[in-house]
Amino acid sequence: HSSSAQTSDVLWAFAFVFLVFFAASLCTMARRSPDSDGLRWVIAAGAAVLTAGAGVYFGFDFALASAASDLSPAAAQALNILSLKLYLPVGAGAVIFGVGAGLMIVRGSLLPSWLGWLAIVVGVITMATGILGLAVFVLWAALTSIMLFRRTAKLPATDKVEVPALAT
């Protein structure tokens, strides 16, 4: 089963790479709402912690799947424990991201406030339930990205700020 485990780990890693781009779009949306401007840094930090934690979490599983036959039983057991139990960085990032995104959505006006409250709950659930919470997190992100796309497509383009030329 090593090739299927490796494939799964790589796909999860790609999913978290796209989470960073999703977080960037949420941060861009936060710029439109002055009440939630500071929260975009919380969202970015949460996405970074979540992605780094997921990289470590799925990286241990990938290492175990790719080199299981070359490891001593003690080393394989250690990697197995790490690949199953090193979830706290992922959970911490989920709470930071979920609370930051949730508060930003609740304070802003581009997305419905229930979606923000749901983000806070999903962040906490992801910390409390482990890897199963990531499935709920993925569903929330998919729903939010669809709603964000539909809402921002209807918004008028923002005026570009002209930077004055330096006097010579």
The predicted-structure confidence for 44-57, as pLDDT tens digits, reads as follows 999 999 999 999 98
In the prediction, which pLDDT does 165 show?
59
CA-CA-CA-CA torsion for 110, 112, 116, 122, nearest 10 degrees?
-130
In the prediction, which pLDDT does 34 show?
73
As a whole number, mean pLDDT of residues 60-88 equals: 85
In the prediction, which pLDDT does 155 show?
55
What pTM did the predictor assign?
Answer: 0.80
Q: Is the pLDDT of residue 8 over 80?
A: yes
Cβ density class 28-52: b for 16+ within 10 Å, e for less: ebbeebeebeebbebbbebbbbbbe
With tokens 């990289």, the residue in question is 55
Position 86, amino acid: L
Which of residues 33 and 62 earns the better pLDDT score? Answer: 62
Of residues 97, 107, 103, the one with CA closest to residue 32: 107
How many whole angstroms separate alpha carbon 84 and alpha carbon 60?
9
The predicted-structure confidence for 144-162, as pLDDT tens digits, reads as follows 999 888 876 665 555 554 5
